[in-house]
Amino acid sequence: MGDKKMNEEKKSMGDTVLPETPVSDSKLQDQLTALEIQVNEYKDQMLRVQAEMENVRRRSEQAVVDAHKFGSTKLIQDFLPVVDSLHRALSSEPVEDSHVKNMRKGIELTLDMLIKTLEKHGVKILEPRIGEEFNPEHHQAVSMVLDEKAKPHTILQVLEKGYLLNGRVVRAAMVVVVQG
């Protein structure tokens, strides 16, 4: 009778009392096995989530690095026609007029400053040479020409220089290639 009173007091205090019916060892073993399987599944899920979080972190870090390295791509692409125009201005025949000589000197200095600034920010000029092997990663073939004297798939003429930004092509060099 004392045990019954104690069980009733425990129930009133919010404690749960387990039934006193005996549970077989095989049933306990089955429950234990089921719980171990469930624990292993949860561990596996946790490892997968941790791996995914690590991958997201790495991708985010790489995106930040790429943004710093290549974020100025559009601005550099916008400056390239200016560089090309300055190169074209200097490719004309020199004139003896002192005003034209001074203007030419100013254009040379401006172009030099612009190129040094671009190089300071990771830009490298691609200057293919005539006779050099055509490289589709760095050159854009504008046309192909038959030439018996030249080796096939080599550069015959350079129309425009190319540019790299931190090793990535910003603009391929425009070339005429010997047809093979």
Task: Report the CATH number at residue 78.
Answer: 2.30.22.10
Q: State the DSSP string of the chain.
A: -HHHHHHHHHHHTT----------HHHHHHHHHHHHHHHHHHHHHHHHHHHHHHHHHHHHHHHHHHHHHHTTHHHHHHHHHHHHHHHHHHHSPP-S-HHHHHHHHHHHHHHHHHHHHHHHTTEEEE---TTPBP-TTTEEEEEEE--SSSPTTBEEEEEE-EEEETTEEEEPEEEEEE--
What range does the domain containing 146 cover? 71-178
Residue 16 belongs to a domain: no
Quick: pLDDT tens for 9-18.
Answer: 555 555 555 5
The band of 97, judged by pLDDT with boundaries at 50, 70 and 90, is confident
pLDDT of residue 6: 52
Residue 41 belongs to a domain: no
Number of domains in the chain: 1
Decide: pTM greater than 0.75.
Answer: no
- Output the CA–CA distances (angstroms, integers) from residue 121 to 57, 69, 71, 127, in the order listed: 27, 9, 11, 18
- For residues 157 and 173, give the distance between their C-alpha atoms in angstroms, rounded to a whole number: 11
Residue 140 belongs to a domain: yes
pLDDT score of 80 more than 80 = yes
Quick: pLDDT tens for 38-58.
Answer: 999 999 999 999 999 999 999
pLDDT score of 139 more than 70 = yes
